[in-house]
Amino acid sequence: MTDERFFVAREAMSLGEIARRIGAILAEGVDGERTLDGVAPLDAAGPRDLSFLDNPKYANAFETTQAGACIVHPRFAERAPPGVALLLSEQPYRAYAVAAQLFYPEEATGSDTYGEKGSVHPGATVHPTARLGDGVTVEPGAVIGAGVEVGQATVIGANASVSKGCTIGKNCFIGPNTTISHAHVGDRVILHPGVRVGQDGFGFAMGLPRHEKVPQLGRVIIQDDVEIGANSTIDRGAGPDTVIGEGTKIDNLVQIGHNVEIGRGCIVVSLTGISGSAKLGDFVVLAAQVGVAGHLTINSGAQIAARGAVLHDVPAGQQYGGVPARPVAEWRREVVEVRKLGRRKKQTGSPDE
């Protein structure tokens, strides 16, 4: 069950309304007027909860669930226990995600953390020239600089800093202790706690007698519907801008260097580092701990496996992995051959044993 100190569901919803809004079909005999109060996992759900089954690994839990209703693929419908109403979907997990957003909308968009939504706390510092839209929340300790513009219903979390001249769109969540400078942020953007946006890129003219700092004169442009995880860092451009494309989702602890351009709908997983001036097309996936060298292009639809080191351009739609990253099939063959070589040495005895 969800802890109501943190998660408060909206009013009860009927199965018919849920099915309509998530694009599911009510199974034969299901009462569309029946109402539910929230969502829960299969093994914790009760008669007033909606759950889901997507991974066959949890089919046994589905067969014994106490949930009032469950979103399932039609192929699992016959395994439902008595009394569980079924909502049939070809994509149960996606349908569940939408349903959970319906019950807990603030958890999908970000909510205030202090408990006084829609107000500017007296402990915040807002420059007289800053412009705040209707319903903006500014929590204790936050600082908003000169000329900043914040769109309606945006939340600026406790101790966040928005430097002079920045703009932030509507319905955004700027988490506690986040810092934003030299940046324009679109609508419905979520920056989790500790995100750093717009600080200097790592630019130096190296040599004797000292390394000369190159002023970083670009910006960070974060387009609509981007989400950036806790303690990730996005450097501003050196001259051209650093750009994060619409709908891109970035995990915790990601480093994005100056002048990087990330396309629409990309996924960048934790501990990934993208060096300066690299370009990602649309819907690129970088798994955990990927390293991307500077001044190269990963074209649209490409996917890089975890811990891959990208040292050359990657063609569109390709899957790469390994160090250095190469086509996944090639990388896997090499891993198999290395294992075989190791077994042979173990069997015959290597010269240095």
The residues assigned a catalytic role are: 258
Residue type, 309: A
Strand stretches in 161-264, DSSP E: 161-162, 167-168, 173-174, 179-180, 183-185, 190-191, 196-197, 204-205, 212-213, 220-222, 227-228, 233-234, 242-244, 249-250, 255-256, 261-262
Phi first, then psi, for residue 61 (nearest 5°) are -65, -35
Q: Could you tell me where the DSSP H helices lie in the chain?
A: 15-22, 59-64, 92-103, 105-109, 328-348
d(CA 343, CA 346): 5
Q: Is residue 324 helix, strand or coil?
A: coil
With CA atoms as reference, report the closest residue to 198 among 237, 158, 157: 237
Q: Let me know: does 229 contact 270? Beta carbons within 8 Å.
A: yes
DSSP 8-state assignment for residue 17: H
Rounded to whole angstroms, the Cα distance separating 31 from 211 reads 72
